Amino acid sequence: MRNKGRVLAATTAVFALAVTAACGTGDDTPKPTEVKPEFNAALTAVFNPSDKKGGTLKMAISSDWDSVDPGDTYYGLSWNLLRLYGRSLVMFKPAAGSASSELVPDLAESLGVPSDGGKTWTYKLRAGVKFEDGTPITSKDVKYAVMRSMDKEVLVNGYTYFNDFLDLEATYKGPFKDKAADTKAIETPDDQTIVFHLKQAFGGFDYFAMLPATVPVPAKADTGVKYKEHVVASGPYMFDKYEAGKGFTLKRNPNWDPATDPNRKALPDAYDVKIGLNADDIDNQLISGDLHVDIAGTGVQPAALPKVLQDPALKAYADNPAVARLWYTSINPKVAPLDNIECRKAVMYAMDRTSYQAAFGGEFAGGQIATSIMPPQIPGYAPTNVFPAGADNKGDVEKAKAALTACGKPDGFEVTMGFRAERPKEKATAEAFQQALAKVGIKVTIKGFPVGDYFSLYAGKPSYRNSPTTGLGLMTNGWGADWNDGYGFLSQIVDSRVIRDSGGSSNLSVMIPEVDQLIDQALAETDVKKREALWAQIDKRVMEEAVILPGVWSKALTLRGKGVTNVFVNEAFGQYDYLSMGVAQ
Amino acid sequence: MNTVISPRQDPTKTPFLELRDLKIHFPTDDGLVKSVDGLSFSLERGKTLGIVGESGSGKSVSSLGILGIYHRRNATMSGEIWLDGQELVSASQDTVRGLRGKRMAMIFQDPLSAMHPYYTVGAQIIEAYRVHNKVSKKVARKHAIDLLARVGIPQPDKRVDDYPHQFSGGMRQRAMIAMALSCDPELLIADEPTTALDVTVQAQILDLMRDLQREFNSALIIITHDLGVTAELADDVLVMYGGKCIEYGTATEIFENPEHPYTWGLLGSMPRLDQAVTERLLPIKGTPPSLINVPPGCAFHPRCAYAEQTGGLDRTVVPELQLTGTSGHRVRCHLPAHTRQEIWRNEIKPNLEGVA
Amino acid sequence: MATSTDTSAPEATQAPVKAIEGRSLGRIAWTRLKRDKAAMTGGVVVILLILMAVFAPLIVGWLGHPPNEFHQDNTLLAPELGGLPRGDFLFFENSGISGDFLFGLEPQNGRDLFSEIVYGARVSLLIAFLATLVSVVIGSTLGVIAGFFGGFVDTVISRLMDIFLAFPLLLFAIALVGVLPDRAFGLSGNSLRIALLIFIIGFFNWPYMARIVRGQTLSLREREFVDAARSLGARGPYIIVKEMLPNLVAPILVYATLLIPTNVLFEAALSFLGVGVQRQVVGEPGVTWGGLLADAARNYTVPHFMFFPGMAIFITVLAFNLFGDGLRDALDPKSKR
Amino acid sequence: MVTYIIRRTLGALLILFVVSLATFLIFFGLPRLAGATPETFAARYVGKTADAQTQQMYAEKLGFYDPLYEQYGRWIGAVFTGTEYDYGTGVEQCEAPCFGYSFRTNQPVWEDLLDRLPVTGSLALGASIIWLLTGVAVGVLSALRRGSFFDRAAMTGALAGVSLPPYFTGLMFLYFFSYKMGVTAPGASYTPFADDPAEWAYNLILPWITLALLNAAAYARFTRAGMLDTMGEDFVRTARAKGLTEGVVVTKHGLRAALTPIITIFGMDVGLLLGGAILTESTFSLKGLGYFAIDAIGKQDFPQIMGVTMFAAFFVVVANLIVDLLYAVVDPRVRLS
C-alpha cells in the first residue's frame, strides 16, 4: 500500500495529496483547515501554525552525523535536533525569520550576567527542571557536562571554545583521566548557580552558553563515548530506542515540566529518526508524504531538483533558505607567485563567479554569489565587493591582466589547486578555476585529496601547502558559522593564530597581523553595535588582502513534508526548526 | 542398384538386419563430411559380422547410424536400414529410441569415458533395464547383479555399487557388456570392444562375447581396426575405407583370398603371435583420407602400390563393389580380378607367411 | 568427432593431404577469422577506436569543442533547472544534443560530451593495453616456470595465485591509488597515476594469465617434441624459449585479447569510484569514461550524460570480446563455443 | 577426509594471515614510507579543532607510536583472544573475534560488519538465484539448439551482458524504472526481510537485476560451453544408445556433468560477493559491506578497513573450501586427500 502511494505520488505531485490522504499511514487524516502551500512560505513566517499535540514526526537522513551526545557533536542539524532531548543554558529563540537570531534563556533563568569586565559569567538555573528519571538538574550537572566535553581525547568531535577561553589550571586533566578532577574555572556555589571564569574578557559568552556542551549530563550516567547510546534527557523527549547508525525513536519525557520551559511546544508524541536511507528515496518520500523531514537540511538531490523547480505543485512545498555558510577558495600567499598581492588580485578578478555558483548547483541549490566573507544573515553584515568580477560576474579579464602585469607575470603563471576529492562540487569548482583562469594565462593544475586528510595532512598543514614542491596556491574551502555572529563565523577562518604546524586548521591563507588585532578588539568589545562594525571591518580588510576568494553563500532547496504543522526556517540553523514542528491531526 | 547381402544369406528370405545404400553425411563449417557413403550389408541372428578399417573410415559412424543416434538436426541420412522387417531410417525418432537398448544394443570402446562417471555401475545397468522394462528398482537391481555375475564380475552384489573408475579396465568392459545385454538385445554392436585392454584381457573378453552370443543367439557386429579380432569371431568380414565398403565376404574368403590392396595392407599389419615383431608388421603407407576431401576416383589410390596398373582409372572413376569368385565375395577395385589374385598369391601371401 | 583426421602422422607426403597441412596455423586461423562476421566487426571497431584515440585532437577539432571548455551560456544551460542543458533529443531530455554538440552537454559546466568521449578513449585504451602487457609478462613468465619446473616451484607459484585470488582486489587497488605520492620514478601528476594504474591493474590480473599458461605448459611438457629436445641434451631455458614458447603464443594471444576488455572495465570501475585518472591540467584532458559515469551518477535524471560514456565502455568491451572470442575459435577450433 | 579438512583449514588460515598482513602493510606501512607520522594518522580521527597536543595524546592512545609489528600483533591478538576497550569512564571487554573499534565512530567493527552483512547477503542471495536460474537455463537451451536463432540471439545477448559495466546498467535502470516510470525504488534503502518482505524486495529488485544481468550472461556462456562439451562425451552417447528419452539424456546425463564446474564457479562468486559488491552497492547507495569498505577507505578508518578486508577474504576462503568439499560429493572420482 505504502509503496504504491509513494510511487504514484512521486510521479504526479498533483495526485500526491489525495493518494497520501487515502493510503497514508493512517495518522494523518484530512486536515480541518487547508493551508495553501506556497514557495518559501516557511522562510520568514510560520507555515500552517498549530498547537495540536500528538502523532509521530518522521525524520530521516542519508548518512549518519557524528553523535547524538550533546558533548560530542559539531553538526548544525544535530544542534537543531538535540534541543528535543537536551536543554542548554541558553538557546536561540525558536521563531521564524530573523527573530531566531535572538538568544533566550533555556535551562538558565536569564541570559548570563557578566562581571569582572566580561571575564566572569554567572547563570542561575530554573527551579524544578528534572532529568528523565526525575532527578532534579543542578548546576553541577552542567559543570560536569562542560568538563567532559573538553576532554578531546575521548569526545573528539566538536569545538574547543571552553578549552580555549576557560581559565583552566595547567594541571587540569578532565573527568575521564581522573574521576575526581575539578577546576576552579567553573564554580557551582549552589545547585542553581554556575559561574564561568575566563582567561580573557569575552562579550559574547552567551553564545558559548548556547552550545550543546552545557546540556546537563549526570556524572554517574556518563559512559564516555558510549554515552550516546543512552543520553539522559532534560528536554521534553527522551530516547526510546537507539540503534547506532540506523536510527532512533524519541518519546515523551514524563519528567519534563512545560512550566519550566517557555520555548518548547512539544507537539508530536514521538519522533522516528531513520539513518542511512537513500538520499533520492528521502526526496521521494518527502514528496509523497511518507516522511516529514530530511534532517540533513541541505536540500533535495540533483535528481529531484529540476522536478521540484519545474512543477508548481511541488515547488509550493519547497523553501529556499539561506545557510550561514560560505563556500570559498583560499589563495595561499606563501606560494610563489601568489606571495605577490597583484598576482592574487589577478585571480580575484579573473575568476568567473557564475561558474563557481554553477559548480555548487546554481542559484537555488547552490546559493547566492558571494562578494565578501560574512553571509548577509550575520548581524553586522555590510555589503562590499572589493574585487568586482565584471558586470556579469563572469570575470574581469582586463583588470586581471593589468594585475598580472603589475605582478610581473603578464603571460600568467602556473599554480596548483587542492580540493576534497570526494566532494563533486569542490571538484567542479576546481575545474571552473582551471577554465576561468586559463583565459588570462594562469595555468591551474588541480589535485584532489581525501576528505579525511584534507585539513590534517595537506591543505591544512602549513608544511605541505607552503612547500615549494607540493605547494597549493589555491584551495577549496567552506565554512559555516557555529552561530550567527561575527565571532562565530569569522574567528576560525581569519585569525592567523589558529594556524598550527600540526595541521587541521580551517584558516589556510589569512595571516594579517592587523586582522588579529582587530579580532582581539572585537572580542573585548561589549557594545554589540560596535562589535558588529568591527567584524564588518575585519571582513573588508581580509578581502583587500586577496587571500580569500568568496564563492557562494549557501542556499538549499528544501521540502516541507506534507502533513507537518508549525513549520518555519530557523535562521540560526538555516534549517526547519525541528523543535517546533507538529504533525497534522 | 543391386542388393549387397551376406554371402551366406538366402536371397529369398528377408534378412534379420539389412543395410541398403546407407549414407550418413555431416555438414560442417569446413565442408560436407561423407562419413558413410553408400554402405550395404546384411546379417542373420546368431551370426557375426566384422567391420574392419582404420579410424575415420566410417565404421563407427555406420554402427551409430544403425542405432539411430544421428538425426535430421546434426546429420543427413539416406538409404535404408531394415531390422527384422522394420525400416529405421524413415521411422520416427521415438520408434527407433524404443528399439535402442532393447532390440539393438551397443558395446562401446573405452568404457571409462563411455560410462557416466557420476553414477554407479549398477545404477547405469538398472537405468538401461528400466527404460524398457517396467519393473521395480529392486527387481532391476537383482537383474543387474545377475548380469554382472554372468559377465564374470566377482562379488557382483558388492561391485554393483561401485563407480566405473573403481573398476579395472577389463572389469569395466565386462560391465559395459552387461549393460548392453540388460534387455537381451537381438542385435549387438561392439565398437572396438578390446582396443583399450591388454592382450590377456582381450582374449577373455572375446571369449565372453562369443559365449554370450551363442547363449542369446543375437546378431553381432564387431567393429575393429584389428583383423585379428575379426579372425577370432566373425563369420563375415566387411572392410571399409573412406566411408565405403571396399571388400566384403566370408571370413574365410577374406583371410584366404583377399583381393583389395588395402585389405592386404590390413593383413600385413595384423599382429601374429607366431612371428617376431619386426617381421610381421607391414604398415600401410600414408594416412587415411580426409572425409571432406576424399581423393577422386578410387579413394585408396594415393596409398595404393598398384595404382599405376589401372591405366589412369584410379584417379578418375570410383570403382564399383563387384562380385568376384563364386562365394559372394565382393571387391571395389579397378585391377582386373586375375591380376589381384596373382599379386596376392605371388607377392603378398608369401611375404606374410614366409620367414623373410 | 566425424572430422577427426590424424594430422600428426609423419609420413604425410601425398599431394592433397599436404595442401591442407602445408598452410601455417596463422594462415588457417586468418581464414577462419575472416569468415567470422562478428569477430571481424569487433576487430574493425577496435581499429576504429584506436584511430579515434590517436586522432582525438583532429576529430574533436572537426566535430566538437576543446574537451575541457565550459559552455555556460544561459542559452545552453538552464540556471532555473540547476544548470541542466537546454533541449531534448529523442528520449534524451535536457541533453542539449545538437549539430554543435553531438552528444549534448555536461550539466552545470556545459562541457562538450562528444569531445570528452573521444578523448576518454585515449586513457581507457592506453591503460588497458599496457596493463594487459604487464599481466602477460608476469603471468606467462610465472606460468611457464610453474608448469615447466613443477614440484616445489609450482606449489609456491600456485599458492601465490590462490592468495591473490582471495584478495578483495578492487579494495586494494583503491587503497594503493589512495596512498599515491606526489611524484615518484621521475613521474608526477597524471603520468604517475596512469603508470600506477597500469601497474596495479596489470599486477592484479596476472594469476588468470598464469593459470592458463601453466596449464598449457603442463600439457606441452608431456609432448614428444619436448622429450625429443630433452633427449638431445637441450636444457630448460632453451626448451622453454625454443620449443614451448612458440606453442604458447596462440593461447597467450587469445587470452591477452580477452584480458583487454576486462582491463577496460577495471579501469572504468576505478575511475567510477573516483580513484582513476583526474583532469589535472588545462589542455591535458584527463577525462575518463568511468569518471564521466561517476559524475553522471549524480545527475542520473539526464540520461544522455550516462548513456554516452556507458555506451563507449560497452562498445569497446564488446568489440574486444567479439574479436577475442573469434580469435580463440580461429586458433583453437576444438574450443568452438 | 578429516585430515584433508584440517589441512585445508590450515591453508585457509595461512591465506587469511597473508591477506591481513598485506592489508596492514598497505594501509599502515605504505603511508609511513610516504611520510605519514603517528600524529598525522591521529589527526584523521580527532576533530578539526584539535591541537598538536591532542593529536599526540590520541596517537598515544591508539598506539601509533609503537613499532609496526607491535601494532599488527595487537590487532591479530585481539582477533584471537579479544581485547579491552577504554570508552572513557570504564573498560569494555571485546570478545574474540574482536576487530577493534572504529577510530571515528567508536563502534565495535565486528558489530558494524554483522550489521552490514544482511544487506550484502540479501543482495547476493537474490541476485545469485536470478543469475543461476536464468544463466543456466539459457546456456542449456543454447547448447541444445546450437546454431539456431535462439542460440545466436542468446549468445550475442550474453556477450553484450558481460560487456556491460554494472554501474552503467544500474544507472540506466534507475533512470527508466525509478525516475521515469516510478515502479522501483530510487536507489536502495535497505529494509530487513523480517520487517517487511515486500519492501525488502522492492528496494532490492534493481540491484538484484543489475548484478544478476552481468553474471547471468557469464553463466549462460559457461553453461553452454559446458553442455556442448558434455553432450559430446561418450557417456552421453551411451545414454542415448540405451534408448533413454532425450530429456533424460540431457538432464540426468548431460546437465549433471556440465553443472559440476558451474557449481564451483557459483560458490566462488557468491563467496566473493559476500565480501561486498562494491560497484553495485555504490551505484545504488546500498549500504552493504562493499559500501562500508569504500567508506572506510575514504575515511581511512583503519580497524574498519582491516575488518572488512578480512571479512571479505574469509568468505572467499570458506567458499573455496566448501566448493572443494562439494566437488567431492558431486563427483565420486574426486578423492579428498
- Work out the minimum CA distance from C336 to partner chain B, whole angstroms: 11
pLDDT of residue B163: 92
- Grid cell listed for B326: 563364386
Q: How far apart are CA A17 and CA A288, in angstroms?
A: 8
Mean pLDDT of C136-155: 89
CB-CB under 8 Å, B108 with D243:
no
Q: Which chains touch C (3 or more CB pairs under 8 A)?
A: A, B, D
Is residue A1 over pLDDT 70?
no
**Lowest model confidence (mean pLDDT) among A117-131, B172-186, D84-98, D130-144:** D84-98
Q: Give chain D's mean pLDDT.
A: 87
| A 252-311 → C contacts, CB under 8 A | 302-303, 305-307, 309-310
Task: Tell whether A422 is within 8 A of chain D (Cβ).
Answer: yes
HSE-CB at C263 with a 13 A cutoff on CA atoms is 33
- Give kind and range of the element (H or E) at residue A195: strand A193-197
Which chain C residue has the Cα nearest residue A307?
C81
pLDDT value at A20 more than 60: no
pLDDT given at position D336: 63
Task: Kindly state whether C22 is in contact with chain B, defined as any CB-CB distance less than 8 angstroms.
Answer: no
pLDDT in tens, C293-307: 998 888 888 899 999
pLDDT at A28: 44
**CA proximity to C276, closest of C287, C263, C260, C284:** C287
C residues 171..190 contacting D (CB < 8 A): 171-172, 174-176, 178-179, 181
How large a percentage of chain C has pLDDT more than 70?
A: 87
The reported pLDDT for the residue numbered C168 is 73
Looking at residue B2, its pLDDT comes to 55
Contact yes or no for C310/C225 (Cβ under 8 A) = no
Please identify among residues 177-206 of chain A the ones whose CB lies closer than 8 Å to any CB of chain D.
179
B in contact with A (at least 3 C-beta pairs within 8 A):
no
Check A226 against D50: CB less than 8 A apart: no
Contact status, residue D305 vs residue D27, Cβ threshold 8 Å: yes
Confidence of residue B288 (pLDDT cuts 50, 70, 90): confident
Read off φ and ψ for residue C328, nearest 5 degrees: -65, -45
Average pLDDT estimate for B215-234: 86
- pLDDT over 80 (residue A585): no
- Mean pLDDT, rounded, for A447-451: 84
Return residues 72-101 of B near C (CB < 8 Å): none
Comparing D90 with B148, the larger pLDDT belongs to B148
Grid coordinates given for D51: 591541537
- pLDDT number for residue C12: 31
pLDDT in tens, D152-198: 999 999 999 999 999 999 999 999 998 888 888 877 678 888 888 98
Please judge whether D87 and A223 are an interchain contact, meaning their C-beta atoms are less than 8 angstroms apart. yes
Chain B residues in contact with D326 by the CB 8 A cut-off are none
A59 beta partners: A273, A293
| Physical contact, C and D (3 or more Cβ pairs within 8 A) | yes
Q: How far is B290 from chain C (nearest CA, A)?
A: 6
CA geometry: angle D119, D121, D127, nearest 5 deg: 105
- Over residues A423-439, the mean pLDDT reads 92
Determine what percent of chain B is predicted with pLDDT higher than 70: 93
State the pLDDT confidence band at A313, using cuts at 50, 70 and 90. Answer: very high
Tell me how crowded residue B154 is: count the other CB atoms within 10 A of its CB.
Answer: 9
Query: In this structure, are residues A267 and A53 in contact, taking their beta carbons and an 8 Å threshold?
Result: yes
Query: Is any Cβ of chain C less than 8 angstroms from the Cβ of A445?
Result: yes
Q: Would you say A195 and A110 are in contact if contact means Cβ atoms under 8 Å apart?
A: no
Q: Tell if the CB–CB gap between C6 and B35 is shorter than 8 Å.
A: no
Among the partner residues A281, A422, A456, nearest to D40 by beta-carbon distance: A456
Residues of chain D with Cβ-Cβ distance to C307 below 8 Å are: 172
Indicate if the pLDDT at residue A6 is higher than 60.
no
Answer for the pair C72, C109: CB distance below 8 angstroms, yes or no.
Answer: yes
More confident residue, C8 or B133: B133
pLDDT tens per residue across span A180-226 = 888 999 999 999 999 999 998 888 899 999 999 999 999 999 998 88
Q: What is the pLDDT of residues C7-41, one digit of tens each?
A: 333 333 333 333 344 456 677 788 888 888 889 99
Put simply, the answer to whether C2 touches B288 (Cβ < 8 Å) is: no
In terms of Cα–Cα distance, which of A376, B56, D14 is closest to C7? B56
Q: What are the φ and ψ backbone dihedral angles of B280, each rounded to 5 degrees?
A: -80, -20
Choosing among D168, D175, D305, which should be mutated to test the C contact, i.e. which has the most C CBs within 10 A? Answer: D168
Q: Band the pLDDT of D48: cuts 50, 70, 90.
A: low
Confidence check: pLDDT of A13 > 70: no
Alpha-carbon distance of D147 to C261, in angstroms, equals 26
**Angle between helix D149-163 and C303-331 (nearest 10):** 120
Q: Is B12 exposed, middle or buried (0-12, 13-18, 19+ CB in 10 A)?
A: exposed
Q: What is the mean pLDDT of residues A107-136?
A: 94
In this predicted model, what pLDDT tens digit does every residue of A534-558 receive, in sequence order? 999 999 999 999 999 999 999 999 9
Distance CA D191, CA B126 (A): 51
C-alpha–C-alpha distance, residues C323 and C40, integer Å? 7
Enumerate the residues of chain C whose CB falls inside 8 A of the CB of residue A448: 274, 278
pLDDT mean across residues, chain A: 89
Which H or E element spans position C78? strand C77-78
List, as ranges, residues 207-226 from A with C-beta within 8 Å of D.
Answer: 222-226
- Minimal CA separation from D271 to chain A, in Å: 26
Asked if the model's pLDDT at residue B3 lies above 80, the reply is no
Residue that wins the pLDDT comparison between D16 and A239? A239
Of the two residues C182 and B61, the one the predictor is more confident about is B61
Which band of pLDDT confidence, cut at 50, 70 and 90, is reported for residue D38?
A: confident
C314/D168 CB distance under 8 A: yes
Of the listed ranges A435-439, B116-120, C191-195, C278-282, the least confidently predicted one is C278-282
Q: Which fold has domain C43-76+83-335?
A: MetI-like fold (1.10.3720)
Better pLDDT: C284 or D219: D219
Question: Given this model, what pLDDT does residue A5 score?
Answer: 40
- A444 and C282 within 8 Å at the Cβ level: the answer is yes
Instruction: Give this prediction's pTM.
Output: 0.86
Nearest CA in chain C to B288: C5
Nearest by CB to C281, from A364, A435, A443: name it. A443
Closest-CA residue of chain D to A506: D48
Residues of A with CB below 8 A from D90's CB? 223-224
Neighbour-count burial for A290-317, b at 16+ CB within 10 Å, e otherwise: bbbbbbbbbbbbbbbbbbbbebeebbbb
pLDDT at C334: 55
Q: Do C313 and D15 touch (CB under 8 A)?
A: no
Cβ within 8 Å, pair D58-A153 = yes
Long-range contacts of C222-227 (CB under 8 A, 24+ apart): none
pLDDT the model gives residue A452: 74
Between D255 and C240, residue with greater pLDDT: D255
CB contact at 8 A, B49 and B17:
no
Which grid cell is D144? 541444445
Quote the pLDDT of residue A16.
Answer: 36
Q: How far apart are CA C334 and CA A382, in angstroms?
A: 82
Please state whether the peptide bond connecting residue A337 to the residue before it is cis, i.e. omega within 30 degrees of 0. yes
Give chain D positions within 8 Å (CB) of C1.
232
Peptide bond into D97 cis (omega under 30): yes
The pLDDT of residue C9:
33
Q: For the beta carbon of residue A565, count every other beta carbon within 10 angstroms.
A: 24
Which of A82-86, B246-250, D294-298 shows the highest mean pLDDT? Answer: A82-86
Q: Cα–Cα–Cα angle for C296, D290, D168, nearest 5°? A: 30
Kindly indicate the confidence band of residue D297, based on its pLDDT and cuts at 50, 70 and 90: confident
Contact between D160 and D247 (Cβ < 8 Å): no
Q: What is the mean pLDDT of residues A115-143?
A: 94
Task: Give the N- to C-terminal CA distance of chain B in Å, as an integer.
Answer: 44
Residues D105 and A240 sit within 8 Å (Cβ to Cβ): no
Q: What's the pLDDT band for C337 if we cut at 50, 70, 90?
A: very low
Reported as a pLDDT band with limits 50, 70 and 90, residue D92 is confident
Residues contacting residue A117 through CB under 8 Å, at least 6 positions apart: A201
DSSP lists the bridge partners of residue C89 as: C92
Residues 6+ apart with CB under 8 A from A170: none
For residue B293, which residues of chain C lie inside 8 Å, CB to CB?
A: 16, 20
Using the predicted structure, report yes or no on whether residue D254 has a pLDDT greater than 80. yes
Residue A62 near residue A282, CB atoms below 8 Å: yes
CB A539 within 8 A of CB A510: no
Question: What is residue C284's predicted lDDT score, i.e. its pLDDT?
Answer: 67
**C12 at interface of B, judged by CB pairs closer than 8 A:** yes
pLDDT above 80 (res A33): no
Does residue B23 surpass a pLDDT of 70? yes
Q: Are D84 and D92 in contact (CB under 8 A)?
A: yes
Angle between the N-to-C axes of helices C189-221 and C169-178, in degrees from 0 to 180, rounded to the nearest 10: 150
- Provide the ipTM: 0.84
What residues of D are in contact with residue C321 (Cβ under 8 Å)?
Answer: 159, 162-163
Reported confidence tier of residue C132, pLDDT bands at 50, 70, 90: very high
Q: Give the pLDDT of residue B72.
A: 63
Sequence-separated contacts (24+) of B66-69 with Cβ below 8 Å: B66/B17, B66/B19, B66/B104, B66/B187, B66/B189, B66/B221, B67/B96, B67/B100, B67/B104, B67/B106, B67/B189, B67/D240, B67/D241, B68/B93, B68/B96, B68/B97, B68/B99, B68/B100, B69/B100, B69/D237, B69/D240, B69/D241
Provide the pLDDT for residue A53. Answer: 93
CB neighbour class for C180 (10 Å; exposed up to 12, middle 13-18, buried from 19): middle
- In D48-77, the residues whose Cβ lies within 8 Å of chain C are none
**A279-283, B9-13, D163-167: range with lowest mean pLDDT:** B9-13
Distance from CA of D299 to the nearest CA of B (A): 52
Q: Tell me the three cell numbers of residue C239.
A: 626448451
C-alpha cell of residue A406:
603589475
pLDDT at C265: 93
Whether B261 has a pLDDT exceeding 80, the answer reads: yes
pLDDT at C215 over 80: yes
**Among A309, A443, A445, whose Cβ lies nearest the Cβ of C81?**
A309
- Residue B264 in contact with residue B348, Cβ under 8 Å? yes
D242:B101 CB<8 A: yes
- A122 interfacial to chain C (CB closer than 8 Å): no
DSSP string, B187-250: EEEEESTTTTS-HHHHHHHHHHHHHHHHHHT-EEEEEES-HHHHHHH-SEEEEEETTEEEEEEE
A280 CB within 8 Å of a chain D CB? yes
Using CB atoms, which residue from A160, A276, A284 is nearest to D287? Answer: A276
Q: Work out the minimum CA distance from D223 to partner chain B, whole angstroms.
A: 18
What does the block give as the cell for C109? 559546466
Query: Quick one: pLDDT band at residue C179, thresholds 50, 70, 90?
Result: low
d(CA A456, CA D304): 20
Q: Please state the separation of Cα C291 from the chain's center in Å.
A: 17
Q: Does residue C160 register a pLDDT over 80? A: yes
Grid coordinates given for C221: 611438457
- CA A139 from chain center: how many Å? 28
C-alpha cell at A462: 602549513
Q: Is the pLDDT of residue B69 over 50?
A: yes
Among chain D residues, CA nearest to A10: D182
**CB atoms < 10 A from the CB of A135, how many?**
14
Nearest-angstrom CA–CA distance, B142 and B149:
11
By the 8 A CB rule, do B49 and B236 touch? yes
Distance CA A288, CA A285 (A): 5
- pLDDT band for A9, please (50, 70, 90 cuts): very low
Measured CA to CA, the distance from residue A187 to residue A207 in angstroms comes to: 19
**Are the beta carbons of C4 and B56 separated by less than 8 Å?**
yes
Name the band, by pLDDT with cuts 50, 70 and 90, for residue C285.
low
pLDDT surpasses 90 at A92: yes
Chains that touch D (3 or more CB pairs under 8 A): A, B, C
β-pairing, B48-52 vs B236-241, is: parallel
Q: Which one of D148, D235, D329 makes the best mutation probe of the B interface by having the most chain B beta carbons within 10 Å?
A: D235
Whole-number pLDDT of residue D3: 85
